[in-house]
Amino acid sequence: MHKIDTLNATAENNFQNGTIVSPDWFNAVQNEIASVIEGAGISLVKEDNGQLLEAIGEIIASSPLSDGSVTLAKQADGTANKLQGWGADGSPTQVEPGTSLTVTGGTLNADLATTGSPGVVQIGSGLSVDGGGVVSAPGVAKAHVNFDGRSGSVAIRGGYNVSSVVRNGAGDYTINFTNALPNTNFTVIVTGSNPAGGGASNGFIASEFLLTGSSFSRTTTSCRVGTYNGSQAYNDAFSVNVIVM
């Protein structure tokens, strides 16, 4: 295709009064229009003056995004389970995810890198992830919970990696972890309060529950804590907070 470049055309190659129209310009226009029609798979028909419009409609209808929805398969030129990417020059390219990165039903799944098993998400040397997905790192809590420990109304208000809290007796609670910890060498921090009528905490003390024989009741799946009042008697607490490091 080219713009008019014959006698009396403007400096910008536009038409004006007196511009000579050449056969090569007419041929260029004709061939450009015919290419669109034939490119849509339509044979030229002399008596049909609506073929250009028909061809444009066919091209739009055959587009992968003609229904207005965008999916990974459509972005990957209709190839399912491939990702659409772009090269350094901006040209589109399709990427096969491989074993560590998969696409299922439009959801991108990334495998975690572990020792001897490469993955997409790499955990640094200071972090570790157990089989249950619990991340362990210096200074990061392995589990924590805030709960109401009163008799008959034990309820978790919020927390992380805690599946349940069991009241064993007055001021005596077992904290069960959702995912087991790597070992029992963890630190347990406990606070408790039981507001009196005026709203003040009435001298409550909270700690990890100490069993007979000066041993703690802790496993990789649970720990036991206690709350007691100023008279050294175990007593239920309105608010108990436990952090496991």
pTM comes to: 0.46
pLDDT < 50 stretches in the chain: 98, 115, 118-122, 197-203, 213-214
CA 162, CA 204: separation in Å to the nearest integer? Answer: 23
pLDDT recorded at residue 126? 54
pLDDT recorded at residue 20? 92
> What is the per-residue pLDDT across 62-84, written as a single tens digit (0 to 9) for each?
776 556 565 555 555 555 555 55
Q: Is 2 within 8 Å of 9 (Cβ atoms)?
A: no
pLDDT recorded at residue 154? 85
Quick one: CA dihedral 70, 73, 76, 78, positive or negative? negative
> What is the per-residue pLDDT across 107-144, written as a single tens digit (0 to 9) for each?
556 555 554 554 444 455 555 555 555 555 666 788 99
